[in-house]
Amino acid sequence: MNRPVTDLMRQVADPARRPDPYPVYAELRRERVNHVADGSYALGRYRDVVSLLHDPRVSSDAHNAADQSAQNVHDNAPFIQRDPPEHDRLRAIAMRYFGPPSSPEMVTGQEPEIQKFVNGLATDLPGHGTADLVDQFAYPLPVSVICGLLGVPPQDESQFRVWTEGIVKGLDAQEQEGADELIALRDKCQAEMFVYVNGLVGKHREHPDGSMLSHLANDPDAMTDAELGTTSVLLLIAGHETTVNLTANGILTLLRHPAMLERLRAEPQWAMAVVEELLRYEPPVQYLPNRFALEDIQVGSVTIPRGARLILLLAAAGRDPERFDHPDRFDPDRADNEHLGFGSGIHYCFGAPLARLETALSLTTLARRLVSPRLASDPPPYRPSPVLRGPVHLPVTYDNRRD
């Protein structure tokens, strides 16, 4: 019988561990299957996490949880919280207008506009001194990009940020203190955003403008209004949240490795290799907390019972020494970097191409524009969420800003 590891999972959730949770993940990897006292099972070895991400016996639908009272169960869930065939139907419709493989130009065609916006954000930074590269850079870029793609009016972006932050705070509320208040805030923000999006859908049906939301609202294989609302809210949140954390984690990591920052300044074509290693080394989504066993699943000597909650530790798998050489070393030149930073299987992150592009352009631009950048504080303050992990602020001091 494997030992309970309630204290280890509590350590992962502990805000004091946010700057460096990786020693705890190493502890969790020691046991192949960690039976948590709340009845869930945490797994962090690479081969097991990959296997379960592709296992049809593993569900993303909270209706399949043995203890539904502990889950965020509702009938109109977004497609990332559904199983086939409904997942496949809704995702296929959404992907027609979001990027590869159906419409790759939706991402590649945005590169000049994204670079223009990145340049503008860099120019708006102070000429020298200290800037918060989350508030003043990493956050505004993906928000404006996803709002532009979806057809959200620019004047509504500030309200969108309020809703998004409230929803994100409650996504893994059960892992945080003040869970009831966070869940109430999450539900309030979701309801308000849903009403807003439904109104926006109506406007796009009357006046199509070529945006993604306009296409979805007028698609001949139409989603229901409820499905369109939850899909739009999902795209608005997921379309920027991962990129904010990935960019902020990237800036932080490069400033901790100044020789690599200098190389990126000299070799901007190296940016994609840097981004791929960041997705392994500092993934913006640390773990997937809500998967459920559709039947008994045998992993090693442990039987995970039907209905049990699975916690798939992507960040632990990314540093598994059985899969990656020197896993705690940041090495963008490593070969065979088949990371899990965007997940794997049928729920692989649909916004991955856009997130990669935005992050690569952001990191290369900052490397080129800021002279002698260094961290004003290390570690910086982190967001409360242990799942969506990244700095909430990133004060960086520099001598000059190149024009």
pLDDT tens-digit series, residues 137-150: 999 998 888 888 88
Domain 6-401: CATH superfamily is: Cytochrome P450 (1.10.630.10)
In terms of Cβ atoms closer than 10 Å to its own Cβ (0-12, 13-18, 19+), residue 372 is exposed
DSSP state of 261: H
Tokens 């992150």 -> residue: 349
Dihedral class, residue 141 (left if φ above 0, else alpha if ψ from -120 to 50, else beta): alpha
The count of residues in the chain is: 403
Rounded Cα–Cα distance for residues 354 and 357 (Å): 5
Closest CA relative to residue 238, chosen from 365, 102, 94, 364? 94
Asked if pLDDT for residue 1 goes beyond 50, the answer is: no
Dihedral class, residue 345 (left if φ above 0, else alpha if ψ from -120 to 50, else beta): left
Asked if pLDDT for residue 392 goes beyond 50, the answer is: yes
| Banded pLDDT at 238 (limits 50, 70, 90) | confident
Residue-wise pLDDT tens digits, 257-313: 999 999 999 999 999 999 999 999 999 999 999 999 999 999 999 999 999 999 999
Mean pLDDT of 328-344: 96
Domain map (residue ranges) of the chain: 6-401
On average, the pLDDT of the chain sits at 91
- Return the CA Rg of the chain: 21
Residue-wise pLDDT tens digits, 299-316: 999 999 999 999 999 999
Asked if pLDDT for residue 116 goes beyond 50, the answer is: yes
Q: E-strand spans in 193-278?
A: none
Residue-wise pLDDT tens digits, 162-189: 888 788 777 666 655 677 888 888 889 8
Task: Please say whether the beta carbons of 217 and 201 come within 8 A.
Answer: yes
Mean pLDDT of 310-324: 98
